[in-house]
Amino acid sequence: VAIARALILGPSVLVADEPTSALDVTVKAQIIGLLKELQAEMGLSILFISHDLSTVKSLTDSVVVMYRGRVVEQAPTERIFSDPQHPYTRALLDAIPAANPRDKRERTFLAAGDLEAQTPRYTTIQTGLAPNATPQLVTIAPGHRVEAVVTT
């Protein structure tokens, strides 16, 4: 009903904030199918906000990862899932349970304060890092931006 109400005026963008949270698998699949169908039929752009990374992977073309209200990484979905560059993105992906619990894989765990210490650092000249450099989004590949400390 909420989706129908949101679409009644024919918007070009639909903001879907956790539309599948607290739903069983069958209903979740139906909602995802409906969103894909609406997107194709109406040419609708969907801003899909979710903590469920498997749903994000199946539904999106591009992903923006946020931490404490800041964008820390943005890239095409496949690139985020295959080659995450920010430590927070890696930790999020490592938190996804393995399909087979016997599969052993390396995981990223971040303790309080670790994220700031592990933020990628890029320098335009090799003179070291400024002690109070502010992180900013840096384009590291076409369509792929990551928060990093940049010094000049």
Residue pair 69/37 in contact by the 8 Å Cβ criterion: no
> Which residues have a Cβ under 8 Å from the Cβ of 130 and sit 6 or more positions away?
151
| Cα–Cα dist 113/116, whole Å | 6
Q: Is the model's pTM score more than 0.85?
A: no
| Cα–Cα dist 56/75, whole Å | 13
What are the residue boundaries of the structural domains of the chain, listed by start?
A: 1-60, 61-152
- Kindly report the CATH number that applies to the domain delimited by 1-60: 3.40.50.300
Number of Cβ within 10 Å of residue 132's Cβ equals 6
Per-residue pLDDT of the chain (152 residues; tens, 9 = 90+): 888 898 998 999 999 999 998 899 999 999 999 999 999 999 999 999 998 888 899 899 999 999 888 899 999 999 999 999 988 898 889 887 777 777 766 655 555 555 555 555 554 333 344 556 677 898 999 999 998 877 65
